[in-house]
Amino acid sequence: MSARYVRGVQSNKVAACVKHFALNNQENHRMEANAVVDDRTLYEIYLPAFKTAVQEGGAWSVMSSYNCYNEEFVCHSSRLLNDILKGEWGFDGAVISDWGGVHDTDGAAHGGCDLEFGSYTDGVAKSVPAAFDNYFLAQPYKAKIVSGELPVEELDDKVRRALRLNFRTMADGCFGSFLSPEHTEACRKIGSEGIVLLHNANVLPMKKDARKIVVMGENAIRPMVVGGSSSSLKAQHEITPLQGIKNACPDAEVVYARAYYSGIPTGGPYTYGHYDLTELRPAQELLSEALSAMEGADYVIFIGGLNKSKGQDCESADRRSYELPYGQNELIETLAAARPDLIYVNISGSPVAMPFADRVGAIVQAWYLGSETGNALADVLTGKVNPSGKLPFTFPVALEDGPVKTESQYPGYRDASGVWQVHYDEGIYVGYRWYDTMKVKPQFPFGYGLSYTSFEYGKAKLSSKKMGKNMTVKIPVKNTGSVAGAEVVQLYISDPECSVDRPVKELKGFEKVYLEPGQTKTVSISFDRDALSFFDAEKHCWVAEPGRFKVLIGASSEDIRSEAEFSL
């Protein structure tokens, strides 16, 4: 995915900047956390997406992360930036620091940072005269070059990379546009295709003859384009979920009940960007209103989740809790007791606990969908679009089910020398690799997502029983339902006979196929020896051991539909 995204962006003479390289896996203490990670884990888990973006995508720039590795700030890390990124992977673009991420001239000069971003000023609250001249890689760097304290060869390399970036992004008459109808259409399409249907007890899609629809929850009216620190955007418009449902159901009475409040009850004005979200009524009154509004409703839709406030999918702070905030769990259970067909729409960018999952009629994971949020969501709820999204991570039942068990893993600790240490003791067992291997049942597994139709998988067939340079798997997939839809066919590799510990299976490819009712298409997915390999830290190379392997074809990491064996 990273390679295709990079190629798409750069086809328009716009440089993709791949970030944050690397090991930026927590926000708490992100400016100082030192990642203590073994090389096998580094190469197998935390580097592959970057490597793909650089080698297959041809990325023109990479942004270094704030955190430390080997007790060096990453933008000073010669191992990560010079040895791996520029050396092993042959990256010929420019490395730019994150905002204020450079800490001294020598470290950035030697460590592989090419462009310094934001030191000495935050651009808003404080600044100094001629701020750019005072950057570590500006006048201070020049002085050390002139004095001979630092080699000019390092500077030459940085200049070449900066010039190469300039030449690559020259417009050549390639003019674009902003806020076009095509942009709006693309935003809506991308949003609706990304939505994931997690649960459906024959409640969705909504029928067209609905007369009364009740929409609940603060997230139905709360804009999400603003907020979240650096993820806050200035958009021309944002269609809220409530407005989107009204747009899609013009003949129905659409009633709104707030149900919960994220501010301080009865505590005066509560503004969010340019929006006034003030609510003066107490929680009990909001609940009573919601229960009353449900009477006679054809559909009840609760739109909740997170909201990008601090501690909720927001930069510079991790999630405060895995639970939904503002008492939503208890509220949803109360509402679902009165309306078991309640539709819950979860707005978030990360997993949340859903103890009510088996007591509601449907669950829709809607993410943060941008300007066309409400219209994209309504397209899925009403069946105009058949949901085809799949989860890109696991939803555990509880946080304790996951691989992080100790304080040294998270949030870390300050050692005797004052360094904030974070130990990646879980190694390669993260995400579905952990849940599958340890046989821990998640709430919703990696790769999972329902549809308004059904798909039947045939038998997987390999291009050969013995692995050569590469291998192709073909599998017929049939739409056995009554509506057109898309399925994401996933290919996992299992290595049951290995000299090292390995996960039960690992995703090595996927393909999305669109099918009309009754239609069958053969899906083809290819892979090479890299898909069979593990990283041998002692030899510092990837190793594919001779022996027997399995190809597992599934609709999710839990739902394997067909398998085949081959040997290397």
Domain containing residue 21: CATH number: 3.20.20.300
Tokens of 546: 């001779």
**What pLDDT shows up at residue 66?**
96
Q: Are residues 44 and 164 in the same domain?
A: yes
Q: Around Cβ 333, how many Cβ atoms within 10 Å? A: 14
**What pLDDT shows up at residue 170?**
84
**What pLDDT shows up at residue 359?**
96
The residues facing 414 across adjacent strands are: 420
Please state the separation of Cα 479 from the chain's center in Å: 29
Q: Are residues 141 and 285 in the same domain?
A: no
Calculate the alpha carbon distances from 193 to 47, 248, 489, 518 in Å: 28, 17, 15, 21
Q: Are residues 219 and 368 in the same domain?
A: yes
- Mean local confidence (pLDDT), 63-91: 97
**What pLDDT shows up at residue 120?**
74
Q: Is the dihedral of CA 128, 132, 138, 139 positive or negative?
A: negative
- Mean local confidence (pLDDT), 69-97: 97
Q: What is the CATH number of the domain that holds 199?
A: 3.40.50.1700
Q: Are residues 335 and 237 in the same domain?
A: yes
Out of 338, 356, 381, a domain closes at: 381
pLDDT mean across residues, the chain: 94
**What pLDDT shows up at residue 463?**
96
Q: What does the CA dihedral 378, 454, 185, 238 come to, rounded to 10 degrees?
A: 30
Q: Are residues 144 and 226 in the same domain?
A: no
Out of 341, 366, 381, a domain closes at: 381
Question: Comparing 21-30, 312-321, 440-449, 487-496, which segment has the lowest mean pLDDT?
Answer: 312-321
pLDDT band at 271 (very low <50, low <70, confident <90, very high): confident
In a domain, 53, yes or no: yes
In a domain, 447, yes or no: no
The helix/strand/coil state of 551 is strand
For residue 190, pLDDT over 90 is answered with yes
For residue 187, pLDDT over 70 is answered with yes
Q: Are residues 226 and 332 in the same domain?
A: yes
In a domain, 319, yes or no: yes
Please give the Cα distance from 288 to 292 (Å, whole number): 6
Contacts of 521 (CB under 8 A, 6+ apart): 476, 477, 513, 515
**What pLDDT shows up at residue 138?**
93
Please give the Cα distance from 108 to 116 (Å, whole number): 9
- Mean local confidence (pLDDT), 498-521: 97
Q: Are residues 159 and 227 in the same domain?
A: no
Q: What is the CATH number of the domain that holds 528?
A: 2.60.40.10
Please give the Cα distance from 270 to 224 (Å, whole number): 15
- Mean local confidence (pLDDT), 211-215: 98
pLDDT of 32-48, one tens digit each?
999 999 999 999 999 99
- Mean local confidence (pLDDT), 251-259: 97
Tokens of 166: 């300039």
Out of 381, 404, 420, a domain closes at: 381
Site of tokens 């360094």:
419
Contacts of 277 (CB under 8 A, 6+ apart): 218, 221, 222, 262, 263, 270, 271
**What pLDDT shows up at residue 234?**
83
**What pLDDT shows up at residue 355?**
97
Catalytic residues: 98
In a domain, 431, yes or no: no
In a domain, 40, yes or no: yes
In a domain, 421, yes or no: no
pTM over the 0.85 mark: yes
pLDDT band at 149 (very low <50, low <70, confident <90, very high): very high
**What pLDDT shows up at residue 123?**
57
Question: Comparing 191-205, 258-272, 320-334, 506-520, which segment has the lowest mean pLDDT?
Answer: 258-272
Please state the separation of Cα 246 from the chain's center in Å: 29
pLDDT band at 203 (very low <50, low <70, confident <90, very high): very high
Secondary structure (DSSP) of 90-113: ---SEEE--TT----HHHHHHHT-
In a domain, 16, yes or no: yes
Q: Are residues 188 and 163 in the same domain?
A: no
Amino acid at 79: R
pLDDT band at 456 (very low <50, low <70, confident <90, very high): very high
pLDDT band at 225 (very low <50, low <70, confident <90, very high): confident
Q: Is the separation of the CB atoms in 204 and 398 below 8 Å?
A: no
332 sits in which H/E element: helix 328-338
For residue 167, pLDDT over 70 is answered with yes
pLDDT band at 266 (very low <50, low <70, confident <90, very high): low
Q: Are residues 122 and 260 in the same domain?
A: no
Q: What does the CA dihedral 442, 447, 451, 453 come to, rounded to 10 degrees?
A: -110
**What pLDDT shows up at residue 231?**
77
Domain region containing 466: 453-567
**What pLDDT shows up at residue 267?**
58
pLDDT band at 176 (very low <50, low <70, confident <90, very high): confident
Domain count, the chain: 3
Q: Is the separation of the CB atoms in 382 and 206 below 8 Å?
A: yes
% pLDDT > 90, the chain: 86
269 sits in which H/E element: none
Q: Are residues 368 and 512 in the same domain?
A: no
Calculate the alpha carbon distances from 506 to 397, 549, 568 in Å: 21, 12, 17
For residue 537, pLDDT over 60 is answered with yes
pLDDT of 102-139, one tens digit each?
999 999 999 999 999 988 766 566 667 777 888 999 99
In a domain, 327, yes or no: yes
For residue 543, pLDDT over 60 is answered with yes
Q: Are residues 157 and 202 in the same domain?
A: no
**What pLDDT shows up at residue 278?**
86
- Mean local confidence (pLDDT), 329-350: 97
Q: Are residues 350 and 267 in the same domain?
A: yes
- Mean local confidence (pLDDT), 310-322: 91
